[in-house]
A and B are shown apart, each in its own frame.
Chain A
Amino acid sequence: MTKRDLVCKLQQDILMWQGYKSTAGAPTGRIGLGSIEKVFPGGTFPKRAIHEFITVFSEDAAASDGFIAGLLAVLMEEGAACVWISTSRKLFPASLRAFNVEPERIIFMDVKTEKDVLWIMEEALKCDGLAAVVAELNQVSLTESRRLQLAVEKSGVTGFILRKDASKATSTVAAARWQISPLPSTAEEGLPGLGFPRWQVDLLKVRNGNPGRWVLEWAGDAFAEVAPERKENIQGERENRQIG
């Protein structure tokens, strides 16, 4: 047994001791996030789980929407449907086509109260004919998130909670907590205008995994990781200068 196999075995044992239930039987496959997927337990993006997205500035919410749309493109392959629940929806369905999502397969539910959002979200998460459920929800307690998690475990639907007001964040049982913020895009060398949408992806919390920070781009039809070399260079230069 090589050293690598040994480490792998050890990691799996630790996960088992931590009470992590592997989602055997669930369709395994890449979600298209590249190296980010490696930080999740078992090296796969947890589809049978609740993911939480927080935004600090309301103008950043579009970045979370775009990132989720990119994930939906993979989740909604093979004609599956998705439910998007909101109390004050700004999402423009026509724009989702740019993220490879067919907007007509998303059912929008625009309700008045957060209570209704929670109720619909739980019902929708129990419905195994859906691929994913996105809920724009600010207040969700630990107990409520636990109920949602139980529903997800039974049906295998991926749940996304979009918190557009970070001040109300409480602890939940979500498998991952993300923060997506926009970064300046780079157009191709010598061309004017905007490039592909680029985000800073912060994985603040991962259940049984390692948090991290990446720079991603939606490169037309898939996520592409951007090596953060340039930034480090600048920082390095600055440090040098300070020393000098």
Chain B
Amino acid sequence: MTAAYAVEVEHLSMRFSHFSAVQDVSFTIPPGEIFGLLGPNGAGKTTIIRILCGILRPSGGRAAVLGYDVTRQPEEIKSRIGYMSQRFSLYNDLTAQENLAFYARIYGVPAGRLGARLDELIELSGLREARREQTRSLSGAWRQRLALACAVVHEPPMLFLDEPTAGVDPISRREFWDLIYTLAGRGVSVLATTHYMDEADYCNTVGMMYGGRLLALDTPDALKGRMGGFLLEVDCDRPGPAEAVIAALPGVQEVTAHGVLLHIAVADESTPDRVAEALAAAQVAVHRIERIRPSLEDVFLSTVDAELRAQARQEQARGEDR
């Protein structure tokens, strides 16, 4: 069976006894694409991955992986996907090689092919020195690469990675994503979740999740372009008072603090001058005002902010109705 999409999700929802983890989420992943689910902890990313892996039954909507329905054909899916869960689920008292061999046999990699496949994976993930080490003695970054190797040992066409880089240093994260690119280059479709905003830039498509909802879905560039107006970065000596002054100006949509810098979403070109004037009047020394490209973090914060404001308006409207 060849499906048009590696993953198809329609109006998916998941209710646990006291809260909705996923609410009416829809998206598709074309074959060979890297799809990122971006959002803070508790946004519902892990729940979606677990549903797609066939280990959680959704309470509404439908989802298919490689053309197989997640509720009716979970076992069909399981033999064709690789899954790397949030906690590195490796056996600590087995060596790297033994962990790999274990999953290879569980996935039914033919005995004749096993040795070559293990060598290949150990080479690819740079685990040569760790091969005979018990997993417990490996560093976080090594364990993470080993977990990925275990997840792809049977050469699955679809790969689910749940927070694969959590708690790993930036250089190792970079190398890890290079590895994922290598796999995607061979035609593997990837769904990865992350709460590192910069990592979403590695993806072909990014879904932004918050509170169980999918708030935005597009390529990273399109998402950045979607922010209306411009983004200004202000470097000044008293960011605290400056923030209040700028927020009160007409044409300013949003002010967010990034360390000592302020990011200002503005409506039109004339605003930078007005910001400079207002700050001068408030006796704030401005070192630099610059127009910048929004990062995904800016996009994410403004998207979440817009969502929260919309919810608040709805609440208010409902309150007035009563």
Check if A and B associate: no
Mark A residues whose CB is within 8 Å of B: none
